[in-house]
Amino acid sequence: MNSTEFKQTRQGYVDALIELALVDPDVVVLDSDVAKATKTCDFEALFPDRFFNCGVQEQNMMCVAAGLALEGFIPFATTFGVFASCRAGDQVRNAIAYPKLNVKIGATHCGISTGGDGASHQANEDIAIMRSFPNMTVLVPGDYEESRLATKAAARFTGPVYLRFGRDKYPVVPEIHDGFAIGKAKLLHEGEDVTIVTTGIMASEGLKAAGILAERGYSARVLHMPTVKPIDTEALLAAARGTRGIVTAEEHSIIGGLGEAVAGFVAEQHPTMVRRVGVRDTFGESGQAQELLDRYGLRAANIVAEALSVLQEY
Amino acid sequence: MQIVVRDQTDLALLKEKAREVRRRILTMVHRANSGHVGGSLSSVEILVALYYRLMRHDPRRPAWPERDRFILSKGHCTPVIYAVLADCGYFPMSDLRTFRRPGSHLQGHPYAPKTPGIEVSTGTLGLGLSTAAGMALGAKLRKQSHRYYVLCGDGEIQEGQIWEAAMFANKYHLDNLIAFVDRNYLQTDGHSEEIMPLDPLLPKWEAFGWRTCEIDGHDFAEIIEAVETAKGAPGKPTLIVARTVKGKGVSFMENVVGWHGTPPTREEYERAMKELEE
């Protein structure tokens, strides 16, 4: 009944790196002994002289990337999200963000869908950490193709960029394949009653939620924001003005992520009810990716429930 | 703002330059009433030897691609690098008066985007050596021949990341990387061997694949010889342990733990400046 195709977002990242390296000799890739997991091993196979495995040294890797950027290279420093944001947080803040160096951080295995490895490896705080650093751009693409587009956009952009990918295979969402402009939201579905704002893999759940709401007689706007920072304030302001409330959806903690970015902006500019779908203030646990998304409330049904509560209150 | 031409520089000139730099360090920190004197005074000869004798650089072209690069990994010692850069002509000497003031390009810790001559923004310890290693790798990829000089504090090498960088530089045979450890044995809270023992340093670095040597970090001839030897040693990065005296040049500051990050009072400043008169 369901013919949806599933693909890895991290594969979109590495496929883009290969495309980039073919045309730009300054593109180099670093990894920290997780190349088979992040898929940068595919890059290494084609460009062994432009791939640097730093071993289990995420902190050193971030600074080496900073050094390569200072010498004019476009380094993509790759590791798991927990290590990029927490283990090497000081290095990203002080060696990359502060001097605004042209380093791209490719973070895989982000979110609860990292699955069996459990809470230690499920980055649910990385968006919060990265968007709090001045000069940092934060991209959270939603499927394989958007990951590919986001990676290429990051290479064209001058300055530090955090790119967030998952471990699992995620639904392909054709609605988000129409280009990639950093800082621009994508309007996936027009609607007047409520706005669903998604980032990352929640795009597919947002679209499903809009379908369910339509069956109940509500028209939901779906705004996909693969750029969490800088947030598209124009699209948000239009949503706050044009609909009765906003529901955000992210595969990340409700603390400091997309939900807070949206709520913070509309609270100051056009006070609007905002409800957040995301991981509540809790650590995850081991399990299969899809069952964890159910268990931690990251589904269309959760978005619908929040949307209905917004609509019933106003 | 005079630039000493390297060929004409003799030891007497370097010593005179070191004395001037020490006076500027004290004035800067006294005026700001904030900053790190002890570790700046201990590394004066290393920086003077590098900038007035050993490094290929041109203050009129801070971004000249073929320049040698200096990276202050012990980022808190900005007074010594700012004094040297100003004297070389990277920015006006009068800027030193703005050290640590709002709006100044002379931040408490180095900030490369703002200050001409500063190559790498440092501050939290242990990052500079890794960044320099990344730069040195970049130069190798581009087949460039310039070198990277790094100054680490001895307390700084207690950071685990330093040893990550040491492994990395060995793996990629970064013989264009020459690092000094300012071995003054004092760190913020006390004597290094009591806070977190570091000795023996040379065998540690040798085990990590580096060429090493130990010198008197206040003796210009020894600094110059150590660097010239390092330049001629292919295949390996070089680590120079420079034995120094924290607070060097001011009798009441020498080897006193308290002079890590405390500015001198007016009376102390005047006494220190008197000691550093010709």
Domain ranges of chain A: 6-171, 183-313
Rounded mean pLDDT, B126-135: 98
In B, minimum Cα distance to A30 occurs at B134
Per-residue pLDDT at A1 exceeds 60: no
Comparing CB atoms, the residue among A60, A68, A91 nearest residue B138 is A68
Per-residue pLDDT at A100 exceeds 60: yes
Rounded mean pLDDT, A47-54: 98
What order of strands is seen across the sheet that includes strand A161-164? A51-53, A27-31, A74-80, A104-108, A161-164, A137-139, A227-229
Whether residues B164 and A57 touch (CB distance < 8 A) is answered with yes
Report the run of H or E that residue A206 belongs to, with start and end: helix A202-215
Residue whose token pair is 């013919």: A3
Comparing CB atoms, the residue among A59, A64, A90 nearest residue B137 is A64
> Residue A279, SS3?
strand
Our CA-based measurement puts residue A20 at a distance from the nearest CA of chain B, in whole angstroms, of: 18
Residue B127 near chain A (CB below 8 Å): yes
Our CA-based measurement puts residue A59 at a distance from the nearest CA of chain B, in whole angstroms, of: 7
- pLDDT tens sequence across B65-109: 999 999 999 999 999 999 999 999 999 999 999 999 999 999 999
Which CATH class for the A6-171 domain?
alpha beta
Fold identical between A6-171 and A183-313?
A: yes
The three state secondary structure string of chain B is: CCCCCHHHCCHHHHHHHHHHHHHHHHHHHHHHCCCCCHHHHHCHHHHHHHHHHHCCCCCCCCCCCCCCEEEECCCCCHHHHHHHHHHHCCCCHHHHHHCCCCCCCCCCCCCCCCCCCCCCCCCCCCHHHHHHHHHHHHHHHCCCCCCEEEEEECCHHHCHHHHHHHHHHHHCCCCCEEEEEEECCEECCEEHHHHCCCCCHHHHHHHCCCEEEEEECCCHHHHHHHHHHHHCCCCCCEEEEEECCCCCCCCCCCCCHHHCCCCCCHHHHHHHHHHCCC
Backbone angles phi, psi at A202, to 5 degrees: -80, -5
What is the Cα–Cα distance from A33 to A17, expressed in whole angstroms?
A: 18
Per-residue pLDDT at A172 exceeds 50: yes
What the block records as the tokens of A310 is 């917004």
- pLDDT tens sequence across B173-208: 999 999 999 999 999 999 999 999 999 999 999 999
What the block records as the tokens of B274 is 């008197």
Per-residue pLDDT at B5 exceeds 90: no
B226, B229, B233, B236: CA torsion to nearest 10: 0
What is the Cα–Cα distance from B147 to B67, expressed in whole angstroms?
A: 8
Which of B122, B131, B152 has the highest number of chain A CBs within 10 A, making it the mutation to test binding with A? B131
The pLDDT, as a whole number, for residue A313 is 75
What domain count does chain B have? 1
Rounded mean pLDDT, B226-244: 96
Whether residues B133 and A57 touch (CB distance < 8 A) is answered with no
Query: Does B98 fall in a domain?
Result: yes
Whether residues A66 and B142 touch (CB distance < 8 A) is answered with no
Residue B174 near chain A (CB below 8 Å): no
Neighbours of A104 (CB within 10 A): 27
Residues of A designated as active site: 58
Whether residues A64 and B133 touch (CB distance < 8 A) is answered with yes
How many beta-carbon pairs under 8 angstroms link A with B?
Answer: 92
- Average pLDDT of chain B is 95
Whether residues B161 and A54 touch (CB distance < 8 A) is answered with no
The pLDDT, as a whole number, for residue B1 is 33
Tell me the one-letter amino acid at B39. Answer: G
- ipTM field: 0.95
Residue ranges making up the domain that contains B178: 6-275
Tell me the one-letter amino acid at A188. Answer: L
The pLDDT, as a whole number, for residue B2 is 39
> Which residue from B70, B73, B64, B95 is spatially nearest to B82, judged by alpha carbons?
B95
CATH of the domain at B166: 3.40.50.970
Residue A100 near chain B (CB below 8 Å): yes
Residue A311 near chain B (CB below 8 Å): no
Query: Does B14 fall in a domain?
Result: yes
Whether residues B132 and A67 touch (CB distance < 8 A) is answered with yes
The pLDDT, as a whole number, for residue A112 is 98
> Which residue from B228, B143, B118, B241 is spatially nearest to B185, judged by alpha carbons?
B241
Alpha carbon distances (Å) from B10 to B72, B84, B144, B230, B276: 25, 17, 29, 21, 20
- Average pLDDT of chain A is 97
A183-313: CATH number: 3.40.50.920
Question: Sorting pLDDT into bands at 50, 70 and 90, what band is B8?
Answer: low
Question: Sorting pLDDT into bands at 50, 70 and 90, what band is B4?
Answer: very low
Neighbours of B56 (CB within 10 A): 12
**A76 contacts on B by Cβ (under 8 Å):** none
Residue B118 near chain A (CB below 8 Å): no
**B119 contacts on A by Cβ (under 8 Å):** 70
What is the Cα–Cα distance from B275 to A76, expressed in whole angstroms?
A: 52
The pLDDT, as a whole number, for residue B275 is 97
Residue A134 near chain B (CB below 8 Å): no
Rounded mean pLDDT, A113-136: 97
Chain-centroid distance of CA A92 in Å reads: 17
Whether residues B165 and A60 touch (CB distance < 8 A) is answered with yes
Comparing CB atoms, the residue among B121, B137, B161 nearest residue A68 is B137
**B136 contacts on A by Cβ (under 8 Å):** 67
ω into A25 cis (within 30 of 0): no
Query: Does B107 fall in a domain?
Result: yes
Question: Sorting pLDDT into bands at 50, 70 and 90, what band is B278?
Answer: confident
Per-residue pLDDT at A44 exceeds 50: yes
**A89 contacts on B by Cβ (under 8 Å):** none
Residue B168 near chain A (CB below 8 Å): yes
**B111 contacts on A by Cβ (under 8 Å):** 98-99
Whether residues B167 and A63 touch (CB distance < 8 A) is answered with no
The pLDDT, as a whole number, for residue B7 is 53
Neighbours of A263 (CB within 10 A): 18
